[in-house]
Amino acid sequence: DAGAIAGQGDTVTYGHLADRAGRLAARLKAAAGWGRRDGRLPRVGILASRGIDACAGVLAASWAGATYVPIGLKSPEERIITLLDACDCSAVIADAAGARLLTDRVLSACPPLVIHSGPAPRTSPPDGVDLAAAASLPSAVITPPESIEADDVAYIIFTSGTTGIPTGVVISAASVRHYITMITGYLGLGSDDRVLESCELNFDFSVHNMFATWEAGAALHILPAAGAMNAVKFAQQSGLTVWNSVPSLAGMSRQLKVLQDGCLPGLRLTVFGGEQLPAGTVAAWQRAAPNSAIYNLYGPAEATVFCLGQLVTSPVPLTPGRDVVSIGTPLPGSEAAVVDGDGRPVPADTLGELASGGVQVAVGYLVDA
């Protein structure tokens, strides 16, 4: 009966979320040819904005013993087609916004099963594509999720990196399981927490937001897609205790002059990640949320969300010569070194490249998997 997700004017309990995910999972498992291909799990594309439907889709894919593949709604038609082709998905789950992107060309590139929320796409599906409405799925008996192995793939997330070309990063179940267990304990998340979700599914910060929240039995409060300018007000109205976001969201609130001293007294924990954290943003946040611990976390998609970080103390730990908070030290289970172009560690106080290791390192890229 505890709240699992609040968003879109609705609150979903863990029981209702399980029912919704279970019905979707049952439909996935009933699809023709469902199951492993050449030893790998089936793959499910999630074409959805952050919201209850997106969360249910992610859980359903995992529940059905599949790899989930988030596809951003801001992707142009050609990119959606490219990603669907690259992933060789067995099904697609789309929310109402995602369903509007199911054009003739996209549907022609879709796998045999497409489950959608909201109104049906205006176009008719091509032969061989089953277009199923999520609302019409029969109730399912709640059964345990399908068992998967540690080296099975939990999700594939696409990043453009520095090339502008979509690159699929393949993350194993073992890496995600370690991360969820580690970060929940590291941050001290609890069942009474009310946690901000400010990220889209195709940004791996969302993995942290969803699964660490649910691991703790807490409630995930989803910031509306158009609500960035009102994030502080949203936090106040929702009674948030945990803030998760990129630093620029706090910076925007500061620029809009809505980040006033003492305006977020209920926050006990703030997690910034995904971008450089300016010292000025930290100072303003400390005044606005005087009861909140602040963590600066860092990690590329290839290292399963965050692999380095630190609690921001006073004085604020800055990167030498720059007005930004340093990224800290390896989180439990990860390791890091600064190396030269040949991969050899460099002396202290010497510039080099950051190398990361440990259980959270990705399986590889989609072309390798």
The distance of Cα 15 from the centroid of its chain, to the nearest Å, equals 22
Q: Alpha-carbon dihedral of residues 82, 145, 20, 12, nearest 10 degrees? A: -110
SS3 state at 282: helix
Number of residues assigned to the chain: 369
What's the whole-model pTM score? 0.94
CA distance 168 to 86: 9
The candidate with the shortest Cα–Cα distance to 332, out of 180, 210, 218, is: 180
Model confidence over 326-347: pLDDT tens digits? 999 999 999 999 999 999 999 9
pLDDT of residue 211: 98
How far is the C-alpha of 177 from the C-alpha of 325, rounded, in Å?
A: 28
CA–CA gap between residue 93 and residue 333 (Å, rounded):
33
| Residue pair 356/301 in contact by the 8 Å Cβ criterion | no
| pLDDT less than 70: residues of the chain | 140-142, 161-164, 368-369
Q: What is the Cα 40 distance to its own chain's centre?
A: 22
Report cis status (omega within 30 of 0) of the bond before 315.
Answer: yes
Query: Which residue, chain included where needed, has tokens 């925007």?
Result: 252
Give tens-digit pLDDT for 207-257: 999 999 999 999 999 999 888 899 999 999 999 999 999 999 999 999 999
CA angle 166, 53, 56 (to 5 degrees): 90
CB distance 125 to 107 below 8 Å: yes
pLDDT at 161: 56
Residue 70 pLDDT: 97
Closest CA to 339 of 318, 321, 356: 356
Q: Which pairing describes strands 334-339 and 269-273: parallel, antiparallel, or unpaired?
A: unpaired
Which tokens belong to 62? 């995992």
